[in-house]
């Protein structure tokens, strides 16, 4: 297949920035919604601590990493000393506790890859997933939140990319496309590569945050208040970055040889990670290294069918931004099979 590869984006790309910023603003959750999430967390803490006084509840995922759009579900991690009970027993007990407090649709999914209890709070209408002792997710949530505070273009880009992925049906890991978490890492990586760079590589800087989480060393520079001007040398607009992002994944990324690594702040080779062939279910057709669990490829869910869909969607998005007369509408047109 011949790929069109424009080297430059259209001359009037910057004029589209106000339209994309308006979309970004419309996706930000209202203050009241964040307030309701906090209230729900407070009442869940009370409930859980009655049974387990030493247990802690942590928010993680998009509602805690600042990449949440309005009406998102919330992700909660129950941190508990589980030496006496198995994970399944804890989940079932938790489900009992929630049900007897009138929370709705309570379901314990003990056999899922990440076992959780799902439920809905009828007072706030918020749905939530609670997992047990997934502290690496809590740590990577902090890393993403810290990156978001360095340059606001990250949050803008990631919101628009997430909105695009949901509209186009390519944000469904159970169908072989990518998680929101993977898309945010792709955005961070992309902004680390701009010249001049818009984001630094926090894990290559002096470690001001150090934690051993489940045997994994998590270390990076987290005093982000001190580097707020990092990206100031680069004045690329959000519309131009959006084009650049899709253009990179459509026409420039070396799928055969490269792994994107936010940890290293650059691409690294598949060879180096031994991600060159299929092992079990890990096919490594698009490689996105987890910043802390570096043996984890977030692209492992992608198979030979979904990689084609993904790459066609990246091309479509790049072409829409290049040629369409109304890109801020066409980009998000729902995918109809």
Binding track, positions 289-308, relative to ligand CTP; x by CB under 6 A? ---------x----------
Tell me how far, at minimum, the Cβ of 192 lies from Mg ion, in Å: 24
Edge-first strand order for the sheet with 127-132 is 56-60, 74-79, 127-132, 116-120, 104-109
Residue 266: both structure tokens together: 């650059």
Among 61, 176, 265, 291, binds ligand CTP (CB under 6 A): 61
Tell me how far, at minimum, the Cβ of 56 lies from Mg ion, in Å: 19
Residue 64: both structure tokens together: 């805690």
Which 168-187 residues touch ligand CTP, going by CB under 6 A? 179-181
| Alpha-carbon gap, residue 73 to 70, rounded angstroms | 9
| Alpha-carbon gap, residue 115 to 98, rounded angstroms | 16
Give rounded-to-5 percent helix, strand, coil for the chain. Answer: 45, 15, 40
**61 touches Mg ion (CB under 5 A):** yes
Among 13, 44, 48, 68, binds ligand CTP (CB under 6 A): 68
Residue closer to Mg ion by CB (options 61, 291) is 61
DSSP 160-175: HHHHHHHHTT---GGG
Tell me how far, at minimum, the Cβ of 261 lies from ligand CTP, in Å: 15
Residue 228: both structure tokens together: 């707020």
**Pairing mode, if any, of strands 56-60 and 74-79?**
antiparallel
Tell me how far, at minimum, the Cβ of 19 lies from ligand CTP, in Å: 23
Residue closer to ligand CTP by CB (options 60, 190) is 60
Task: State the sign of the Cα–Cα–Cα–Cα dihedral 303, 309, 312, 313.
Answer: negative
Binding-site partner at residue 181 among Mg ion, ligand CTP, none, CB < 5 to 8 Å by type: ligand CTP
Size of the residue set binding Mg ion (CB under 5 A): 3
Residue 97: CB atoms within 10 A of its CB come to: 18
**178 touches Mg ion (CB under 5 A):** no
Residue closer to ligand CTP by CB (options 58, 240) is 58
Size of the residue set binding ligand CTP (CB under 6 A): 15
| Alpha-carbon gap, residue 269 to 152, rounded angstroms | 30
Please report, as ranges, the residues that interact with Mg ion according to CB under 5 A: 61-62, 75
Please report, as ranges, the residues that interact with ligand CTP according to CB under 6 A: 60-62, 65, 67-68, 72, 75, 137, 140-141, 179-181, 298
């Amino acid at each position: 297949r011949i790929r069109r590869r424009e080297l430059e984006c259209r001359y009037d790309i910057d004029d589209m920035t106000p339209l994309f910023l308006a979309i970004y603003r419309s996706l930000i959750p209202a203050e009241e919604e964040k307030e309701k999430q906090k209230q729900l967390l407070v009442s869940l803490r009370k409930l859980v601590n009655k049974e387990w006084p030493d247990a802690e509840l942590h928010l993680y995922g998009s509602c805690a990493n600042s990449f949440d759009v309005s009406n998102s579900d919330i992700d909660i991690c129950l941190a508990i000393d589980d030496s006496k009970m198995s994970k399944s027993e804890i989940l079932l007990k938790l489900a009992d506790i929630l049900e007897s407090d009138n929370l709705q649709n309570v379901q314990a999914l003990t056999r899922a890859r990440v076992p959780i209890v799902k439920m809905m709070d009828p007072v706030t209408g918020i749905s939530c997933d609670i997992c047990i002792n997934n502290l690496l997710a809590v740590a990577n949530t902090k890393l993403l939140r810290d990156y978001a505070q360095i340059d606001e273009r990250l949050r803008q880009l990631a919101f628009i990319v997430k909105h695009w992925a949901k509209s186009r049906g390519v944000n469904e890991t159970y169908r072989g496309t990518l998680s929101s978490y993977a898309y945010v890492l792709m955005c961070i990586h992309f902004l680390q590569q701009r010249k001049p760079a818009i984001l630094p590589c926090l894990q290559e800087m002096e470690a001001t945050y150090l934690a051993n989480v489940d045997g994994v060393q998590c270390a990076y520079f987290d005093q982000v208040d001190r580097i707020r001007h990092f990206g100031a040398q680069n004045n690329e607009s959000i519309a131009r970055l959006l084009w650049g992002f899709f253009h990179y994944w459509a026409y420039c990324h070396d799928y055969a040889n490269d792994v994107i690594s936010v940890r290293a702040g650059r691409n690294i080779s598949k060879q180096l990670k031994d991600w060159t062939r299929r092992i079990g279910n890990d096919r490594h057709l698009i490689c996105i290294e987890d910043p802390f669990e570096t043996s984890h490829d977030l692209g492992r869910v992608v198979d030979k069918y979904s990689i084609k869909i993904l790459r066609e969607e990246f091309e479509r998005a790049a072409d829409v931004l290049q040629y369409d007369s109304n890109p801020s509408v066409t980009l998000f047109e729902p995918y109809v099979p």
